[in-house]
């Protein structure tokens, strides 16, 4: 197990956003959990798992994630929120989000692509606990922020979710004010690519340049906090890669990678298994076949993938899918 300093984490401000939302909604969280949360600094992702589980359980509302996301403001996104506000255009702000989002939280990754004139801001979570609610919170927060920084100058074509709807679909549209698609290939915010040129209402290049320098410093500190985190991030992007290829990406030898991971109390094999399990579950939820999952993750055949999945989770891929049904 890696030490707390090398574990993925979330900024203190985002954790405070959850606690503030709980107080405002009259949601009582367990005192033992509240006492365990760091008073400052960053919150380990494992502790965020516990916080989200308690928050959703106490709320008893299938749309608690959406409501939380819509209640978050720029301050809850740490320095990144202010940096996004100071950008000149929406496109520049999205590029900054893709680059600096780990400062807010290392629980998922953003990527940006353009397809047939449509811009897709895709979010890929790395957690499993309360996945639907947490993803809905992230996407609702991003949607709200995009509206705010553009002065409602962005018209969203569609908000896509990998998960099935947690409540009647029309309730999502009523809360978000945009078309919503469920059981999609990706969790994504979709809008016309031309809107990337939309100017932001609080653009300030001097502030942007200063904040981006600070963000670079913070990001470098996160990157150096633990090799295990960096290895996991690479494997999520390239799940078929082996130890030597990952080491090459990090500009070190395979042997050096093994030794450094041992120093952190981890191993490449365990890290890769963890990432492959997360990706396999993500792909299965999105509707990929066993054959497709096997191919995407680099297994020699379907049988090898099924055996590995059962070793990870105790269930076959088919049993996992059955458990995900509402």
- Please give the pLDDT value at position 138: 97
- Please give the pLDDT value at position 190: 97
- Please give the pLDDT value at position 83: 96
Contact 146, 90 (CB under 8 A): yes
Distance CA 29, CA 39 (A): 16
What is the percentage of the chain residues whose pLDDT exceeds 90? 63
Q: How confident is the model at residue 90 (pLDDT cuts 50, 70, 90)?
A: very high
- Please give the pLDDT value at position 224: 56
The total number of residues shown for the chain amounts to: 326
Distance CA 139, CA 148 (A): 14
The beta strand positions in the chain, using DSSP E, are: 9-11, 42-44, 108-115, 118-125, 156-160, 180-181, 187-192
Compute CA distances 305 → 254, 270, 280, whole Å: 25, 16, 9
- Please give the pLDDT value at position 5: 45
Dihedral of CA 139/107/13/149: which sign? negative
Backbone angles phi, psi at 91, to 5 degrees: -60, -40
pLDDT (average), residues 175-195: 95
- Please give the pLDDT value at position 308: 94
The answer to whether residue 326 scores a pLDDT higher than 60 is no
CA angle 257, 260, 263 (to 5 degrees): 150
The answer to whether residue 35 scores a pLDDT higher than 90 is no
């Amino acid at each position: 197990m890696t030490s707390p300093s090398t574990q993925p984490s979330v900024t203190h401000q985002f954790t405070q956003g959850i606690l503030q939302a709980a107080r405002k909604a009259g949601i009582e969280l367990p005192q033992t959990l509240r006492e365990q949360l760091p008073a400052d600094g960053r919150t380990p992702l494992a502790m965020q798992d516990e916080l989200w589980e308690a928050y959703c359980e106490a709320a008893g509302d299938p749309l608690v994630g959406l409501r939380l996301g819509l209640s978050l403001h720029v301050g809850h996104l740490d320095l990144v929120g202010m940096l996004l506000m100071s950008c000149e255009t929406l496109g520049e702000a999205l590029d900054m989000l893709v680059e600096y989002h780990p400062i807010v939280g290392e629980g998922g990754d953003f990527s940006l692509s353009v397809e047939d004139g449509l811009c897709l801001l895709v979010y890929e979570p790395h957690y499993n606990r309360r996945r639907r609610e947490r993803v809905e919170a992230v996407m609702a927060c991003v949607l709200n922020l995009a509206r705010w920084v553009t002065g409602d100058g962005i018209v969203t074509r569609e908000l896509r979710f990998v998960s099935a709807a947690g409540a009647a679909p029309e309730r999502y549209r009523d809360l978000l004010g945009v078309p919503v698609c469920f059981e999609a290939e990706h969790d994504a915010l979709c809008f016309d690519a031309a809107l990337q040129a939309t100017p932001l209402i609080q653009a300030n290049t001097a502030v942007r340049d200063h904040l981006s320098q600070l963000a670079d410093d913070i990001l470098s500190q996160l990157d150096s906090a633990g090799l295990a985190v960096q290895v996991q991030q690479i494997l999520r992007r390239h799940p078929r890669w082996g130890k030597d290829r990952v080491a090459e990406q990090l500009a070190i030898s395979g042997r050096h990678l093994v030794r450094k991971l041992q120093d952190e109390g981890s191993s490449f094999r365990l890290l890769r298994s963890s990432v492959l399990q997360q990706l396999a579950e993500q792909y299965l939820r999105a509707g990929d076949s066993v054959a497709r999952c096997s191919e995407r993750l680099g297994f020699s055949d379907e049988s090898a993938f099924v055996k590995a999945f059962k070793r990870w989770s105790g269930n076959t891929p088919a049993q996992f899918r059955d458990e995900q049904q509402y």
